[in-house]
Amino acid sequence: MTFLGLDPIIEIIIEKASELKPDLENSLKARLRTMVSSFINGSINSDDCQGLMKEICMSNTPFLFLRSIMMVNIDCQIQKNKAVRSQNSQENQRLNKFRKRAIIWTSEEDINLLAGVLRFGIDNWSIISDIVGNNRSRAQCSQRWFRGLDPRICKKRWTSEEDKLLLEMVSKYGETSWAKISSAIGNRSDVQCRYRFHQIRKSEEKCIDSMFIKGISIVRNRADNALDQTKLFYNDQFLPSIWGGIPSADDASQNSKDEDNASLDLFLRHFGFPLKK
């Protein structure tokens, strides 16, 4: 039997093994690739593959995942799901509209999709959708692979270098050409690129808001300090020099002197300066 999608499935198993053993050496990865390829092609049996994988990964989880893919009866799935699609097409259309609103993939659907990829590769989504079933369209299957299951997609945190490249590509292609941007970056899906870009922009907006608020606080503090210094000057120097009253001419009456002092009192009260008691 020919497996058109052998390489990507092998890389998925390597990815599973690396999750269990992050420091997995390249020599051991190469050994795993050979072992998984041999098992899929029938060169080694299940027990030998499981034993070797457990020896390398200290776990048989990757093998169990691989075996679940191998156990999918593809011909039976295609026949069953084609029959379901042909029956009650109106109900299928209603389900498809519902799935557009809530696309939640189950682990069983993922396994069926990977089994289809292993057999038919990543260019036969119509057939793969018949293997997956559950009224999944070929577009949904394709998106699930390229946006989620493809082992080439990096699922680690974005690095500063990736962020810089992302912003450069957005500047070059715009904020709507995410497929082009994803292709230029190489190991991130279009959804990842769009989501990360909006994260960065939101973070920058929060940073600008924070800086603006901080700037206002600094200005207010400096203004308050300046006002305190001004009041201190008036209290310590200006007020004592004028509270004796405005000198009047020798021939000025006491009434005129009282009127001048009343005007000074009104002036100081208007600008909030303390009055002499």
- DSSP states along 145-184: IIIII-TTS--SPPPHHHHHHHHHHHHHH-SS-HHHHHHH
Instruction: Give the CATH superfamily of 74-149.
Output: Homeodomain-like (1.10.10.60)
pLDDT tens, residue by residue, 136-189: 999 999 999 999 999 999 988 999 999 999 999 999 999 999 999 999 998 899
Between CA 244 and CA 109 the distance in angstroms is 95
Between CA 153 and CA 186 the distance in angstroms is 8
Write out the CATH class of domain 157-241. Answer: mainly alpha
Residue 153's alpha-carbon distances to 14, 65, 150, 166, in angstroms, are 13, 19, 6, 15
pLDDT tens, residue by residue, 114-128: 999 999 999 999 999
What are the structural domain ranges in the chain? 6-70, 74-149, 157-241, 243-277
What's the whole-model pTM score? 0.67
